[in-house]
């Protein structure tokens, strides 16, 4: 079943920029073979990752990611089935959270801002709302 999963976590000091490159290399290699697509957002202290693909595969990947020492306090924000992929052509799209905050200044509505705030703080969210919001960040 096609599903999505979103979590937030705390990026560790043991995860400098070069490690992010390594994470993205893993994503390119493994996610392609598992037919998993998604988005990785990061700041100096946070990660937000959105994964979409076969339910079993994303849960298995999530279990592995959770144990990665480059982040801690991994909190599940949303998980459920979806009709379509939001990012069908991205093994793992990526953006710095500071760039998103710049987008907020120009063309993000107040409800979207609230959704993003809740997301960052690790509160549970509706998958479709998160999907829509992330799509906006990558098309604006």
Ligand X SMILES: Cc1cc2nc3c(=O)[nH]c(=O)nc-3n(C[C@H](O)[C@H](O)[C@H](O)COP(=O)(O)O)c2cc1C
- Indicate which single residue of 27, 77, 86, 130 sits in contact with ligand X (rule: CB under 6 A): 27
The count of other CB atoms within 10 Å of the CB of residue 101 is: 13
Residue 35 phi, psi (nearest 5): 60, 40
For position 99 contacting ligand X by CB under 6 A, the verdict is no
Alpha carbon separation from 90 to 5, 64, 121 (Å, rounded): 15, 20, 25
For position 92 contacting ligand X by CB under 6 A, the verdict is yes
What number of chain residues touch ligand X (CB under 6 A)?
15
Would you call 84 exposed, middle or buried from its count of C-beta atoms within 10 A (0-12, 13-18, 19+)? exposed
Task: Report d(CA 92, CA 52) in Å as an integer.
Answer: 10
Q: Which is nearer to ligand X, 22 or 113 (CB)?
A: 22
Task: Report d(CA 39, CA 50) in Å as an integer.
Answer: 5
Residues in region 55-74 near ligand X by CB under 6 A: 61, 64-65, 68, 70-71
3-state secondary structure of 95: strand
For position 119 contacting ligand X by CB under 6 A, the verdict is no
For position 31 contacting ligand X by CB under 6 A, the verdict is yes
- Indicate which single residue of 5, 6, 8, 23 sits in contact with ligand X (rule: CB under 6 A): 23
For position 130 contacting ligand X by CB under 6 A, the verdict is no
Question: Are the C-beta atoms of 7 and 77 separated by less than 8 Å?
Answer: yes
Q: Which is nearer to ligand X, 86 or 108 (CB)?
A: 86
- Which residues are at the interface with ligand X (CB under 6 A)? 23, 26-27, 30-31, 40, 47, 49, 61, 64-65, 68, 70-71, 92
């Amino acid at each position: 079943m096609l599903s999505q999963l979103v979590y937030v976590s705390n990026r560790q000091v043991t995860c400098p920029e070069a490690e992010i490159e390594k994470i993205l290399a893993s994503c390119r290699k493994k996610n392609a073979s598992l037919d998993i697509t998604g988005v990785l957002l990061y700041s100096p202290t946070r990660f937000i990752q959105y994964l979409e693909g076969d339910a079993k595969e994303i849960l298995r990947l999530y279990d592995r990611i959770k144990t990665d020492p480059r982040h801690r306090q991994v909190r599940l924000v949303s998980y459920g089935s979806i009709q379509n992929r939001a990012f069908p052509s991205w093994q793992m799209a990526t953006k710095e959270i500071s760039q998103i905050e710049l987008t907020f200044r120009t063309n993000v509505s107040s409800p979207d801002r609230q959704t993003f705030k809740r997301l960052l703080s690790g509160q549970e969210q509706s998958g479709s709302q998160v999907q829509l919001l992330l799509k906006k960040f990558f098309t604006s």
